[in-house]
Structure 1
Amino acid sequence: MTEPVRLSKRMSELGLCSRREADEWIERGWVRVDGKIVSELGSKILPNQRITIERQAAAQQSRRVTVILNKPMGFVSGQAEDGYKPAVTLVSGDTRWKEDKTPIQFHPSHLRSLVPAGRLDIDSVGLLVLTQDGRIAKQLIGEDTSIEKEYLVRVQYTKPGKLPDSDLKLLNHGLSLDGKKLLPAKVRWQNDDQLNFILREGKKRQIRRMCEAVGLKVLGLKRVRIGRVKLGELPVGQWRYLSSDEQF
């Protein structure tokens, strides 16, 4: 017989919401298992049992926003660190991109629980996703995510001559970090001093460390795409809402 699992874990696995949201909905009596309301935190169910959520939960979820920000240098993705401001402080009515076509009216409540779905280092720029929606966070940074992230990386070779083709192949597949083999990447020259990286994982300072391993120094790093969502013409330091017809 299949082992019972926590209801909140199962809801997250099914992509209904994040675990935190699941716990909140369970406490409010918004979750049914095989038609019966389950309101006790930590309740366990069998994987084949049917989970439904009340309309209030769906309505609350539909009001959650996701923001696409063009992060400048000098801002951290998450919590404030060493005197540096978090990227969320850039989100205000004044910094919203004038070309944003979404009909959503900015409201200060959109800043509540608006968290980064993935990191972008303090010295890196470009596309950063901030979301109130646990489903999107799980999609982008969950353990089994396979969504591509694309970067433009300006580099300088620290050895004589040019980077050998064999080392470019290593960047594509064959390097390890922290004793663990990296997933295959797509790395190619964009122009004489700029590489295009497409990754399906995001270890801490991964691109910088990969480059270092083959004698390349990173001079600039910009994320330009996550899945199907592109940075496009969004100006530095400005943001827009993810529209209802956009999907990562």
Structure 2
Amino acid sequence: MSELGLCSRREADEWIAQGWVRVDGKIVAELGSKVLPQQRITIERQASAEQSKRVTILINKPMGYVSGQAEDGYKPAVVLVNAESRWQEDQAPQQFHPKQLRSLVPAGRLDIDSVGLLVLTQDGRVAKQLIGEDTSIEKEYLVRVKYGKPGQLPEADLKLLNHGLSLDGKKLLPAKVRWQNEDQLSFILREGKKRQIRRMCEAVGLKVIGLKRVRIGNVKLGDLPTGQWRYLGADEQF
């Protein structure tokens, strides 16, 4: 069910337990049941209705908040999601309700000292799309840097940032890295290793002064103010 993009693995477990899943018309109530390629999986309406209530939230994360669980005394970004901090220009028809905070998890990391677009979702399909093993969705960052040597970063090192670096003994996927102005680079990545951009920059003698994520796939941060949030619109897709 997860591989077909119907839901997340956790949702699949819940739906099977509720009796909302059929294979070739017969209800399957046992977790881990085998399904043959030619068999047809159908979902009861209750599951679809339940899924449609699940929200995806876009937040402009400020510095000093962690993406997921609270750690080292720092608060998670989800504490910023409440009725008062919703962006006034959000056009989505949903009304905020505290139950939307249940199972609201980050779909991807943004370091404590990084800012910008963070996705929090209750929808396993969105999480799989953004952080699944086979995701190819681009993430764009604006990165303010300082070069540790005299002069400017050599062109050969800029090429290395685009392709040729390795982290933890593994080659990085090709990236798109270019200068925005004399001290700011644009990074477009299709992967998200821990502190990847900072470590890439260190490898060529650059120190990151500031890092902001401005786009995930087709969804842009836009004018969303720092510390505020909005719903992912029904017409928006990553």
Superposition TM-score, scaled by structure 1 size: 0.95
Alignment of 1:200-215 (within 5 A): 200-215=190-205
- Amino acid of the structure 1 residue aligned with 2:190: R
Match of 1:170 in 2: 160
Offset of residue 46 of structure 1: 1.5
Secondary structure (helix, strand or coil) at the match of 2:140 reads strand
Match of 1:78 in 2: 68
- Amino acid of the structure 2 residue aligned with 1:32: R
Whether 2:41 is the aligned partner of 1:41: answer no
Whether 2:124 is the aligned partner of 1:145: answer no
Percent identity over paired residues: 84
Query: RMSD value over aligned CA atoms?
Result: 0.5
Query: Number of matched residues?
Result: 238
Alignment of 1:180-195 (within 5 A): 180-195=170-185
Superposition TM-score, scaled by structure 2 size: 0.99
Secondary structure (helix, strand or coil) at the match of 1:93 reads coil
Task: Provide structure 1 residue ranges, at least 5 long, that are not aligned to the other structure.
Answer: 1-10
Task: Provide structure 2 residue ranges, at least 5 long, that are not aligned to the other structure.
Answer: none
Q: For 1:141 and 1:47, how far apart are their aligned partners in 2?
A: 26
- Amino acid of the structure 1 residue aligned with 2:33: S
Q: For 1:123 and 1:49, how far apart are their aligned partners in 2?
A: 49
Offset of residue 244 of structure 1: 0.4
Match of 1:219 in 2: 209
1:92 counterpart (44, 66, 82): 82
Secondary structure (helix, strand or coil) at the match of 1:222 reads strand
Q: For 1:123 and 1:147, how far apart are their aligned partners in 2?
A: 23
Offset of residue 47 of structure 1: 2.5
- Amino acid of the structure 2 residue aligned with 1:201: E
Q: For 2:181 and 2:24, how far apart are their aligned partners in 1?
A: 58
Alignment of 1:3-82 (within 5 A): 11-82=1-72
Greater than 2 Å deviation, 4+ residue runs:
none
- Amino acid of the structure 2 residue aligned with 1:94: E
Q: Deviations over 1:19-43 (max 9, x none)?
A: 0000000000000111111011121
2:224 counterpart (234, 239, 248): 234
- Amino acid of the structure 2 residue aligned with 1:106: F
Q: Deviations over 1:189-244 (max 9, x none)?
A: 00000000000000000000000000000000000000000000000000000010
